[in-house]
Every structure is written in C-alpha cells, then in structure tokens.
Amino acid sequence: MAREVAVKPFAVPAGLSPAVAGRCWFRDQIGESGCAVYRLAAPGMDDLYLKMADAETLGDLVDEMVRLRWLSAHLPVPPLQGFGLEGGGGWMLTGRVPGRTAYQLLEEDPAAAPALAASLARFLRRLHAVPAERCPFNADHALRLAAARERMDAGLVDESDFDESRQGRSARAVWDEMLAALPSRFDRVVTHGDFSLDNLFVANGEVVGCIDLGRVGVADRWQDLAILWHSLAGFGEAAAAAMLAAYGTALDQARLDFHLRLDEFF
C-alpha cells in the first residue's frame, strides 16, 4: 500500500484557510491515530501537517495536542502551528520535523539497520529519562488492558491484521494467552506509546524528532522497546540486537511478548 496518496484540497475552517492556501494535499495511509492526516506541500516552503478529527476522534486529537505541548519542553517534536475546535470536530496544524523517517532510510539501505537501530535506542533512552513524576499522563498496562477489553467486547479488533505469528487466532484466544503469561513486574517511565520507524525522524545518523504523540504517558518501558524491537526485526536479528545493546538492556521475553500481544488490540 502507498504510504500516502494525492487528494484534492477541501474546504477548511476560516481560521485555517490562510495557512493552507495554495498547497498540494497528500493523505497519509499509514498512521493509526484515527484522525485524517494530510501533508500539505508547496514549492520552496516547508511541508505542513494537518490532522482533522470528527466527533468520534476529537478526543484523540485533543490528547495529542496536549501531549505534544508538554513533551516539547523535553524532546524535539513538531512545532504546533494551530489548533481549533469547530462544528463538533477539530483540527491541528504542525510544522515538519527535519530529516527523514527511519523507515524511509531503512527502505533505501537495509544494511544500515544496526547503526540506525543504535541511534533510535539512544533517543529512546532520552525519552525514558524524562522524570516520570513530572508527566501528567497515564498510559500504563492496566489502562491499556481495560481499553483492549472494551475493543474486543465491541468487536473492534481486526484479527486479520494480527502479526504473522498470530494469524488465524481469535482476539479472545490472544487475550487469554496474554493474561496467562502476564509479566511479574512492570516499571514506570515516560513512554511514547507507538515508538515505530514511521514516527522517528533522522538526520546525519541521529534521531532529531518524533511524531504521533497521542499515546504519550507513564508506562512500562517495554511498551516502547517491544514496538521498536518488532519494527526492526524485519531488517534482521542484528538490528534488534544492536538496539537493545545501545539502549543498555537484555531481552525480557515475557514483557516483549506481553506488549506485542496487547498491541494487537489497537
């Protein structure tokens, strides 16, 4: 699937019109925030990124805006250009993060995966070093388990999108397996929540910013490590191993498996 597709511009709220006038629109097809995401391009100008929410996804948009503002004091994130609530929905406009996504770089040069994995791990250590007691947002496993159970009971879990190792399994079977192997301990650090290759921007070999911040909050560090490990595993075992070595931790199979199973419900 193409990662984005060109679309025709459409009418936007009056307060947003001057910022987006004359730009070409491209709709993102990869993100999982629930909001519609557009890249707005114009010759000789930096790209802008627009997220549009309806009444159903407005809470997700507000969640991301307040987390972006909070995290900007600690790590490089997209500059917030505007935010508005209108007609039961809302919009958020941000500037671009410099560099290219980690996914784009690895797609071009898979052999660079171990070196790039180490850079991603160093950035993740910076995030996890932010004092958790200063973070006003909770994203721990208990909260995510409750949300996962609601989605399963409502029939919202896409079983066809499960990882290859769980293809053909039902959401209920994965749920039961996950609870039976619940790790004995979790820690509490500031996490991103979706620390994947498409959400990390790299320039000159180092991560220079992260996007998609709607899940930021205090949780177990393996919430982020598991998603990054899984993202890198497709580029070879050496990449995942280099990530863990640069982060400074050994593989915790129980916590890795738990978070990968839990992520299937979202």
φ, ψ (nearest 5 deg) of residue 208: -115, 5
Q: Reduce the DSSP state of residue 42 to 3 states and report it.
A: strand
Handedness of CA 152, 200, 1, 9 (dihedral sign): positive
Give the bridge partners for 27, in sequence order. 5, 38
Two tokens at 222? 């393996």
Percentages of the chain per state (helix, strand, coil), in multiples of 5: 40, 20, 35
H, E, C per residue of 79-108: CEEEEEEECCEEEEEEECCCCEEHHHHHHH
Supply φ then ψ for residue 116, to 5 degrees: -70, -35
Which is catalytic among the residues 140, 194, 212, 220? 194
> Is 194 a known active-site residue?
yes
Crossing angle of helices 141-153/171-180, nearest 10°?
150
d(CA 219, CA 72): 19
* The 4-7 sheet, strands edge to edge: 4-7, 24-28, 36-42, 45-53, 89-95, 80-86
Q: How far is CA 80 from the centre of its chain?
A: 17
Q: How far is CA 149 from CA 9, 128, 218, in A?
A: 38, 27, 20
Q: Which residues are catalytic?
A: 194
